[in-house]
Amino acid sequence: MTKKLLFQAIAKFFLGLLIFALILFVSAGTVKYPNGWLLIAVLFVPMFAAGIVMMVKNPMLLEKRLNAKEEETEQKAVVALSGIMFLAAFVAAGLNFRFGWYMLPVWAVIAGTVVFLLAYAMYAEVLRENTFLSRTVEVQENQKVIDTGLYGVVRHPMYSATLFLFLSMGIILGSLVSFAILLLYIPIISMRMKNEEKVLEEGLEGYSEYKKKVRYKVIPFVW
């Protein structure tokens, strides 16, 4: 662990937190938006804890994830579309609260929060199982096919986790409009996985055999 990595991690964390809060509360027209604070808590507190764990146990993985940049043209488009999707969803949630549109009931928000935290735990397990996991689509040096644990159930457990993470965000924010916008993540990750599997088949030994062994990409018996 280096001071430079520590500073970089802290700076990116608080910059992300600031931008996220500004989008939510400016669109809501107030900081008195309980659902917004709830999402910030369940999103950024575990993120901070995960960052500390990676910094202590696997600083190389943390550095790799902090500095990741997409090289594939198709993946750059996916990143851009994802950014537009999130911006639209969070602005819509703030406007939903500001203008008193239909807010989801408390029980739905609680259920969404539970799903979010379980998906976060799944995401952490994926990081533990696969030290080659990157934010970008690439084949790394000495990378091997992982076919145990969650990777023995679906080929892309990270996308399984993020699918439930992102869809539950709209519910936590109490906005059906946001939930509907975040459904666009399904075709977005479908596009990403198509390109990713092409890259892995071409560059990662044994991946074609792995695809035959594990049939489902994201959800067993469904997708």
Q: Rounded to whole angstroms, how far apart are CA atoms 151 and 129? A: 8
In a domain, 155, yes or no: yes
Q: What is the pLDDT of residue 108?
A: 97
Q: What is the mean pLDDT of the chain?
A: 86
The stretch 20-38 carries a mean pLDDT of: 97
Q: What is the pLDDT of residue 66?
A: 63
Helices (H), the chain: 3-28, 34-57, 59-66, 73-98, 106-129, 157-172, 176-182, 185-203, 207-213
In a domain, 99, yes or no: yes
Q: Is a pLDDT exceeding 80 seen at residue 75?
A: no
In a domain, 82, yes or no: yes
Smallest CA-to-CA distance from 41 within 169, 218, 206, 208 is with 169
Q: Is a pLDDT exceeding 70 seen at residue 140?
A: no
How many domains does the structure of the chain reveal?
Answer: 1
Q: Is a pLDDT exceeding 90 seen at residue 35?
A: yes
Q: pLDDT class for 65, splitting at 50, 70, 90?
A: low
Q: What is the pLDDT of residue 154?
A: 92
Q: pLDDT class for 64, splitting at 50, 70, 90?
A: low
In a domain, 221, yes or no: no
The stretch 90-106 carries a mean pLDDT of: 95
The stretch 48-60 carries a mean pLDDT of: 76
Q: What is the pTM of this model?
A: 0.86
Q: What is the pLDDT of residue 147?
A: 82
CA–chain centroid gap for 91, Å, is: 18
In a domain, 119, yes or no: yes
Q: What is the pLDDT of residue 134?
A: 58
Tens of pLDDT along 153-202?
999 999 999 999 999 999 999 999 999 999 999 999 998 888 888 888 88
Select the more confidently predicted residue: 74 or 221.
221
Q: Rounded to whole angstroms, how far apart are CA atoms 35 and 24? A: 10
Select the more confidently predicted residue: 83 or 6.
83
Q: What is the pLDDT of residue 187?
A: 94
Q: Rounded to whole angstroms, how far apart are CA atoms 89 and 59? A: 32
Q: What is the pLDDT of residue 118?
A: 96
Range of the domain at 56: 3-136+143-213
In a domain, 25, yes or no: yes
CATH of residue 161: 1.20.120.1630
Q: Rounded to whole angstroms, how far apart are CA atoms 32 and 29? A: 9
In a domain, 223, yes or no: no
